[in-house]
Amino acid sequence: MLLNTEDFRVRARRNLPRFVFDYIEGGADDGHCLRRNLSDLAAVELTPRVLRDTRSVDTSIEVFGRSWALPFGIAPTGLNGLVRPRGDALLATAAARRGVPFTLSTASNMRLEDVRSAAPGGVQWMQLYVMHRDLAGQIVERAARAGYEALVLTVDVPISGNREADLRNGFRMPFKPTARLAWDVMTHPSWSLRMLPNGAPDFANLTPAGGDAGSANMQAALLARAMDRSLVWETLAWLRGLWKGPLLLKGILHPDDARLAIDHGIDGLIVSNHGGRQNDASPSAISALPRVVAATEGRIPVFMDGGVRRGGDIAKALALGATAAFVGRPALYGLATDGVHGAEAVIKLLSDELVRSMTLLGATSAAALPGSLGSVGGQPA
């Protein structure tokens, strides 16, 4: 029975070759940050208010002029095509059907234009990695032309975190078959049969029509997450000039960086430690959230991701000041379990849990939840 996202995780582990599951699950170094995301969320208490009319609970919110049915969305994840062929489009479709936003990674396996047209009505944001400014500029222009509504610059990957499971599994691009990988693939025949007609996924956004020699270097750079480390606050104006819509920074944990972001004309922040995949010493996203929210003084929306596994976790993020939360791995567990239907089922599950939590809390509006009821360690805020 698939009663919660943990059940989907177990099913995903069964369905996927080990090197794919480990890539999804992995944290940096010893996994401290990864575990902190979960344990700090578990430690948040929400104190219910009683005798309120909870016959109807409104989970909708408005973000940058668009209505979301629920106060959460799908975080950008690279290599969704390893989980399922056309994984990017399947996640975008599931999100659009349920009225939540989808963020496409620069490291997607489908071209951003194709993902946008697969789910035309949905809210879609584009995540940007800057490995090379010219290339990033082209992606930004293409995203604007395709109708992406916000641009999310990920700022917590100057270099890749140390993910030892991937090293042990020999997971690299382009794929080089080893005996261990071959065994892994052979022992997951349904995954292999699905993948076979499509071949090994590549980073489609970086492959110009026809391909060229330079693109192979960029593919390798993206898998190794070799970023342009000369990109600093002062050069953000370059991006601001290229992108006229809402521009968000993803990977903010320090309140001073939140203030700098506002000074540099940023429209929104995502408090995140990249799901524990980068700096293992980082605080959990939920514990960093209230400090970042305080620093922004309500001037721009603050989102969070990292460790959200229950609808109740979304209520916690909102109670501690987030406008909305994002989920990374849970959507992939759904995708691995049953494609678009699995991803939709995970969104529905989180939605049902959120409504139950809000009802139990006496909180009838997601839009009114930010900043109320929550505390870390017991005292009502």
Whether a cis peptide bond, with omega within 30° of 0, leads into 174 is yes
The enclosing H or E element of 62 equals strand 61-63
The Cα angle at residue 227 between residues 221 and 231, in degrees rounded to 5: 155
Distance CA 243, CA 334 (A): 32
308 or 363: whose CB is closer to ligand FMN? 308
Interface with ligand FMN (CB under 6 A), residue total 22
Q: Which residue of this chain has its Cβ atom nearest to ligand FMN in the complex?
A: 328
Is residue 274 among the annotated active site residues? Answer: yes
Within 10 angstroms of residue 276's Cβ, the number of other Cβ atoms is: 26
Pairing of strands 66-68, 61-63: antiparallel
- Taking the complex as a whole, the smallest distance from the CB of residue 326 to ligand FMN amounts, in Å, to 7
User: Is 328 a binder of ligand FMN (CB under 6 A)?
Assistant: yes
User: Is 76 a binder of ligand FMN (CB under 6 A)?
Assistant: yes
- Taking the complex as a whole, the smallest distance from the CB of residue 366 to ligand FMN amounts, in Å, to 19
User: Is 5 a binder of ligand FMN (CB under 6 A)?
Assistant: no
Q: Which amino acid is at 123?
A: V
Residue 325: strand pairing partners = 72, 304
Report residue 31 as tokens: 């996994």
User: Is 71 a binder of ligand FMN (CB under 6 A)?
Assistant: no
- Give just the sign of the alpha carbon dihedral 375, 378, 380, 381: negative
| Set 32, 132, 264, 274: catalytic member | 274
User: Is 77 a binder of ligand FMN (CB under 6 A)?
Assistant: yes
- Taking the complex as a whole, the smallest distance from the CB of residue 277 to ligand FMN amounts, in Å, to 6
- Taking the complex as a whole, the smallest distance from the CB of residue 279 to ligand FMN amounts, in Å, to 13
Q: Which of 22, 149, 267, 305 binds ligand FMN (CB under 6 A)?
A: 305
User: Is 36 a binder of ligand FMN (CB under 6 A)?
Assistant: no
Distance of CA 47 to the CA centre of its chain: 28
Q: Which of 127, 284, 296, 337 binds ligand FMN (CB under 6 A)?
A: 127
Distance CA 89, CA 104 (A): 9
User: Is 37 a binder of ligand FMN (CB under 6 A)?
Assistant: yes
User: Is 59 a binder of ligand FMN (CB under 6 A)?
Assistant: no
Distance CA 374, CA 308 (A): 16
Q: Which of 275, 312, 334, 339 binds ligand FMN (CB under 6 A)?
A: 275
The Cα angle at residue 327 between residues 154 and 196, in degrees rounded to 5: 90
- Residues within window 153-172 making contact with ligand FMN, judged by CB under 6 A: 154
- Taking the complex as a whole, the smallest distance from the CB of residue 125 to ligand FMN amounts, in Å, to 11
Tell me the three state secondary structure of residue 224.
coil
78 or 334: whose CB is closer to ligand FMN? 78
Report residue 140 as tokens: 């930004």
User: Is 73 a binder of ligand FMN (CB under 6 A)?
Assistant: no
Distance CA 297, CA 48 (A): 26
Q: Which chain residues interact with ligand FMN by CB under 6 A?
A: 23-24, 37, 75-78, 105, 107, 127, 154, 250, 272, 274-275, 305-308, 327-329
Catalytic residues: 274
